[in-house]
Amino acid sequence: MIDAMERVAEPLRDAHGRAITDLRVSVTDRCNFRCQYCMPADGLPWLERSELLDFEEIARLVRILAGLGVGDLRLSGGEPLVRRDFPRLVAMLAEIKQLNEIALTTNGYLLERDAAALVGAGLKRVNVSIDSLARDRFFAITRRDALAQVLRGLEAIAAFEQVRPIKVNAVAMRDFTEQEVFGFCEFARSSPHGIQVRFIEFMPLDADHAWQPEAVLSGAELIAIITERYELVEREREPHATARVFGFADGVGEIGFINPVSEPFCSDCNRLRLTAEGKLRTCLFSIHETDLREPLRSGADDPELVEIIRAAVWRKELKHRVGEPGFRPPPRSMSAIGG
């Protein structure tokens, strides 16, 4: 029998043969926006502070997973920058040598305040969520008059050349995003920082449970709109990539399309998610979760946590089944799962 400690060096694989190398960690369920595709206007019941993993617990679990072959780490929320002293967590995680880099997904509202501290802590990549470049339409989606502050935050982090690439994520919703497409194309083409805009299909993860297939503006439809004005050249897809990336034929700018509804990319999915209260999720749309907080706080040693993680990963879903008969969305919204 292989000793449990020796098994720590064995890379994580699920029952379908996929190697697991990417981890998304939510550091809080709280958010200062109320985006229509995610959260009700009056918000959600927040977790108590004692329910959240503390920074030392997060760092321990990330260190264990890094020892199992996880090299890519993305921090999210909720909105991660509302977590008190968040740059300190980034610095703690940057000390884990097995990690390739630390990335962040944020709504950008507090990015101007924290950009320098985050870069000093070791942040290497940033995705900023912006669903409209028009102030009134941004407010309509987020229920916050905050576009100017978000754009200032984007500029603040882009000023640090060691943080690359920088991406802007826009959720594609029918009867809304069609009017945003060309503005975002020009934004990508005019950015002095090489910012890539990515459209993400609207997914059934809204707390209001208002999602309908008809509300999804597909990547193919967006491409058709864009090619009315621009010629696009598709880049070769990297293994495990979530986005189809296109360059403009004149060589100026890039744009991407994340199409989990119309073009699922489950076959080579390499991702795990850890929620703010320590639940391990093997798929964004998982119905089941594995509690790591309880054994962590009950004194489990690293080999015991490794065995729990391995068992959960082995049960990783083959695919998310969105759009198939009998599909059930997860009981939690995106803000509670972690973006």
* 3-state SS track over 200-242: EECCCCCCCCCCCHHHECCHHHHHHHHCCCCCEEECCCCCCCC
**pLDDT tens, position by position, 253-293:** 999 999 999 998 888 999 999 999 999 999 988 889 999 99
Domain-embedded: residue 182: yes
Domain-embedded: residue 286: yes
Domain-embedded: residue 261: yes
Domain-embedded: residue 245: yes
Domain-embedded: residue 4: no
Q: Hey, is 167 helix, strand or coil?
A: strand
DSSP 8-state secondary structure symbol assigned to residue 178: G
Domain-embedded: residue 8: no
- Using the predicted structure, report yes or no on whether residue 140 has a pLDDT greater than 70: yes
pTM value is 0.93
Domains identified in the chain, total number: 1
**Where residue 267 sits, what CATH number does that domain have?**
3.20.20.70
Q: Say if strands 196-201 and 271-274 run parallel, antiparallel, or are unpaired.
A: unpaired
Sheet holding 125-129, edge to edge: 232-234, 243-248, 254-258, 196-201, 166-172, 125-129, 101-106, 72-76, 22-26, 271-274, 279-281, 290-291
**pLDDT tens, position by position, 64-112:** 999 999 999 999 999 999 999 999 999 999 999 999 999 999 999 999 9
Q: What is the residue range of 319's domain?
A: 19-337
The answer to whether the CB of 27 falls within 8 A of the CB of 80 is yes
